[in-house]
Structure 1
Amino acid sequence: MPLRRGRIGRPGLLGAMARTAVVAGTATATSNAINNRAARRSAEHQAYADQQQAYTQQAPAQQPAYAPPPTPPTTEPEDMVGKLKQLSELHSAGALSDAEFAAAKAQLLG
């Protein structure tokens, strides 16, 4: 029996169908992988945006990490003692009344 030679270089009907199925399956798998990757990136981006929003809402409510330095006294203690002695001398000399002495002393002491 002689060998039957079909079309050389071209697949038959079954070969064409198999090739089409492989190409379609590969295209579907590639498309699904791209869509899954895009969905993952979108979810990661949304999670990052939510985290940033939570941080910006939280940040203004936080206390500073350091305490402000104490304010220095307006007058030095020795200076205040000297002023109180002057007031006392003026009061004992009669230049200040009792009410004036008490008001000036209260003003000095704060």
Structure 2
Amino acid sequence: MPGLLRGVARTAVIAGTASAVNGRVQRRQAERFAGRDAQIAAERQQAYAAAQAPPAPAPAAPPAASPVDPIQQLKDLAELKAQGILTEDEFAAQKARILA
């Protein structure tokens, strides 16, 4: 009978030690993963907040170009030609573009 009690006692000690070690490992893992879980939760919350934020207002359309008088453009070209800034060929090309 003493051998039987010794075997039971040894089994109890081994089981108790295993249980204590298992509990310690679980606590350490829970602490390690708690930080990671908090970071993931914060990222998800930021993504959700960004998705719920109202969209930025659309930029204003650029002002429409004021219609330019073709006659005035031709007069300006003629002045540039008279000053010698434009050659005859450049003047003709610009004139054709304006009148087209």
Higher helix fraction: Structure 1 or Structure 2? 2
Fold agreement, TM-score > 0.5: no
TM-score by structure 2 length? Answer: 0.43
Structure showing greater relative contact order (alpha-carbon pairs closer than 8 Å, 6 or more residues apart): 2
